[in-house]
A and B are shown apart, each in its own frame.
Chain A
């Protein structure tokens, strides 16, 4: 992938991620987050992980963000917008997140192994075939356990959504 495209998609991911925090309106936040996830899917595709990129678009930008928008519009959240952010929380959040970001930059500057280009790939099959072989071969048991987890989660959602818990 050309560096120009990489930096464009990185800017989309980070810029709309920042817009998620800055927007006062939750609907605008959710839509910015969806665009940020689309930029992230492009970054996954640039790393030759096409399957993960497609799953990112389907699950995150599709299902999860639609669920978020549905809940935001179900709860009428107009009264929340006028609140003030407390100054101590603002300073604390900015300082801690800034410290973390500067630490990441500092560590990466002293990580010369990562300063090489990615080695070339020679895939005998398409990406999805290799993913499927690994998932149903070596990761078969975790795959079935995750199926049970999703079943339990969906039952839990139904129980939580009932009005009376008797």
Chain B
């Protein structure tokens, strides 16, 4: 028997994996991948709650709409973020966050 809590557990573990990636890795591209993982973990719990809140035999489609918008915004975010990373690499020749200290006081 698969319950709602099983899906929420997988979602929480995926979120903490992405969070650990953002904190641990020093390569800005892998940090970006960790961000994507966190967004997807939130999507999983949204879809699980939408499937759990059944009314008249239909799932709660408001949750799935939010997932749709999150996926769209994430795609736009990836395009802009990777363009910024390419511009940064052109200026500094590195993608290592410890070499990018020009904003440090």
Binding site for B on A (CB under 8 A): 1, 3, 6, 10, 13-14, 17-18, 20-21, 26, 29-30, 33, 36-37, 40, 43-44, 46-49, 51-52, 55-56, 59-60, 63-64, 67-68, 71-72, 74-75, 77, 80, 83, 85, 89-90, 92-94, 96-98, 100-101, 104-105, 108, 111, 113-123, 130-131, 134-135, 139, 142, 146, 149-150, 153-154, 156-157, 160-161, 163
Contact = CB atoms under 8 A, between A and B. Distances in A.
B75 A59 contact: yes
Contacts of A51: 64
B2 to A, nearest CB: 5
A135 B68 contact: yes
By secondary structure, the A interface counts as helix
Given A98-B16, A119-B54, A135-B68, A67 B24 contact: no
A121 B58 contact: yes
Contact of A43 (B7, B71, B85): B7
A153 B3 contact: no
Interface of B: 1-10, 12-21, 23-27, 29-30, 32-34, 36-37, 40, 43-44, 47-48, 50-52, 54, 57-59, 61-62, 64-65, 67-69, 71-80, 82-87, 89-90, 94-96
A146 B73 contact: yes
A60 B37 CA distance: 11
B58 A97 contact: no
Nearest to B76: A153
B82 A71 contact: yes
Most buried by B among A21, A29, A122, A146: A21
B47 A105 contact: no
The 6 closest A-B pairs by CB, nearest first: A104-B12, A122-B57, A93-B23, A97-B20, A153-B76, A114-B4
A75 B79 contact: no
Given A80-B27, A146-B73, A156 B13 contact: no
Contacts of A100: 12, 15-16, 19
Contacts of A123: 57-58
